[in-house]
Amino acid sequence: MRFIDYLDKGASLGADAPCLTMDGRDLSYREVQQLSYRIARGIDRSGIAPGEKVAILSGNDPLAFACVFGISRAGAVWCPINPRNEAAENRFILDQFDCTLLLFHSSFAPMIETARSELPKLRALVCLDTELPFAPSFDSWLAGLADDLHQRETIDDLAMIPGTGGTTGKPKGVMLSGRNIETMTALTLMGYPFKGRPIYLALAPLTHAAGVLCFPIMALGGRIVIMHHPDIGEFLDLIERYRVTHTFLPPTVIYMLLDHPKLDRSRLGSLQCFWYGAAPISASRLAEALQRIGPMAQLFGQTEAPMMISMMAPDAHYNADGTIAMQRLASAGRISPLVQAGIMDADGNLQPSGERGEIVVRGSLVMDGYYKNPQATAEASAYGWHHTGDIGYIDADGYLYIVDRAKDMIITGGFNVYSIEVENVLRAHESVQDCAVIGLPDDKWGERIVAIVQPRASQQIDPAALAAFVKAQIGSVKTPKQIEVWADLPRSKVGKVLKPDIRARLSGR
């Protein structure tokens, strides 16, 4: 199935039913369909052929999300861009992923105007909300185009190329096929409760998990209520107003929800499934959420195997007698029905129950590879399995536990941050001799980024000023929440920094 097939399936269940909602305004399934026809025609008129890459750079917005279906209808490939990226990362993605058309919101206009001279592959620009000197508005781009059926065949099954960080700090393009999304959708529909026509509330970015969870909702003719800005008070109001049945939040935002004064006054009885994932969650806060919010549901995946490597439905959070199953709240659930998974040692041997090793998966959920990066693809698929980079074990009851990471990736507030990227920026500061960046457990962020810096001789380091320096280079998400200044770093005999020693020292062990 292509993205348009989920839209068209929903339309077949009620073309006049609300599809996308924001700020009290609805777009029906029929209206989104007609819009997708016009967008597909606009893509054709811009000279973009099937198989070419089309990027969207926007915050949460119904029009921007409707463009996904126009891209699919034109046989092109969707490249979602995180609106929180820094300009340099966006330039890299647009160039490296061979994007030929960019649809963007005017809030990104200064960055696009500056970068476009460095992006010769980018043949067309369209501003979603206004006319610009260097880009037509969305309305003028579609002027004169019919809204009747228009559809092109795809070159292959490639549906989207999201970016993910790598060990060099540069994003890699993950080639996700229609089959990958179809498998994820099937797992969602078979693994979690859906009664009646679902109503899904999207607060988290539609470029990430919140976006791909829209497809199973649309397959059932459900309504997607979109929040442009994250606001916990409004989030609770919208659950009541629209009788929301499904939603997703990363743990960091769930903690904010638990601390909000309106929570216990809010009526949340309509919720069937409140997904959480994208970062480690505190077992004690999860137990609190089960008591105060209701039907929590875990999912574990990664960009390369989206969302559903393992799942824990709401009822799995409880014992047979109705008490909270505290003993498994720290798990990532059970391996999904359409996924093969195992624990592998460094020599490619699958390990028995209870033994620790790298979590590996295979099946139709796993990506087709990294775009234009055969070496990284080969490394990730060694021994015929996709390597997640996470260390874990599977217990005797089949529950998966994640205990560490094989790579130096930090998941903070639902976003992946690679330590080497932060280290490269720190080392560029005139007062820093060397550094190490790690993640430590954090009740709010899941993991907080911690930097240990060694100053240059006779130099003084002001942690607050150094944090501001990092933020200016790579943004707030990747800026350390804690900076420690040490005279030297623990090292091996060959001079390699020993991050386990650093973690032990900071953890007091």
> pLDDT of the chain along its 509 residues, tens only?
999 999 999 999 999 999 999 999 999 999 999 999 999 999 999 999 999 999 999 999 999 999 999 999 999 999 999 888 888 889 999 999 999 999 999 999 999 999 999 999 999 999 999 999 999 999 999 999 999 999 999 989 999 999 985 434 588 999 999 999 999 999 999 999 999 999 999 998 888 888 999 999 999 999 999 999 889 999 999 999 999 999 999 887 898 899 899 999 999 999 999 999 877 777 888 999 999 999 999 999 999 999 999 999 999 999 999 999 998 998 999 999 999 999 999 999 999 999 989 999 999 999 999 999 999 999 999 999 999 998 889 999 999 998 766 666 788 888 878 777 788 789 889 898 888 899 999 988 999 999 999 998 788 999 999 999 999 989 999 999 999 999 988 876 445 678 888 988 998 75
C-beta of residue 344 within 8 angstroms of C-beta of residue 153: no
- Tokens 């228009």 correspond to what residue? 150
Pair (87, 212) in one structural domain: yes
- DSSP assignment, residue 55? E
C-beta of residue 417 within 8 angstroms of C-beta of residue 477: yes
Where residue 454 sits, what CATH number does that domain have? 3.30.300.30
Distance CA 150, CA 146 (A): 9
Please give the helix or strand (H or E) that residue 187 lies within, else none.
Answer: helix 178-191
120 occurs within a structural domain: yes
314 occurs within a structural domain: no
Q: Which amino acid belongs to residue 431? A: S
Q: Which of 270, 296, 322 finishes a domain?
A: 296
Where residue 161 sits, what CATH number does that domain have? 3.40.50.12780
Q: Judging by beta carbons within 10 Å of its beta carbon (0-12, 13-18, 19+), is residue 287 exposed, middle or buried?
A: middle
430 occurs within a structural domain: yes
Pair (114, 249) in one structural domain: yes
Distance CA 385, CA 363 (A): 9
Closest C-alpha to 308, from 488, 504, 176: 176
455 occurs within a structural domain: yes
Give the domain range for residue 465. 409-507
Q: Judging by beta carbons within 10 Å of its beta carbon (0-12, 13-18, 19+), is residue 315 exposed, middle or buried?
A: exposed
Closest C-alpha to 87, from 56, 73, 108: 108
33 occurs within a structural domain: yes
For residue 71 the two structure tokens come to: 């891209």
400 occurs within a structural domain: no
360 occurs within a structural domain: no
Per-residue confidence (pLDDT) for residue 493, from 0 to 100: 47
CA angle 50, 51, 52 (to 5 degrees): 95
Q: Which of 277, 296, 315 finishes a domain?
A: 296
Q: Which of 232, 261, 296 finishes a domain?
A: 296
Per-residue confidence (pLDDT) for residue 404, from 0 to 100: 63
Pair (286, 413) in one structural domain: no
C-beta of residue 152 within 8 angstroms of C-beta of residue 50: yes
- Tokens 């790690």 correspond to what residue? 438
Centre a 10 Å sphere on the Cβ of residue 197 and count the other Cβ atoms it contains: 16
Distance CA 57, CA 136 (A): 15
109 occurs within a structural domain: yes
Three-state SS for 467-485 is: HHHHHHHHCCCCCCCEEEE
Per-residue confidence (pLDDT) for residue 97, from 0 to 100: 97
The domain tally of the chain equals 2
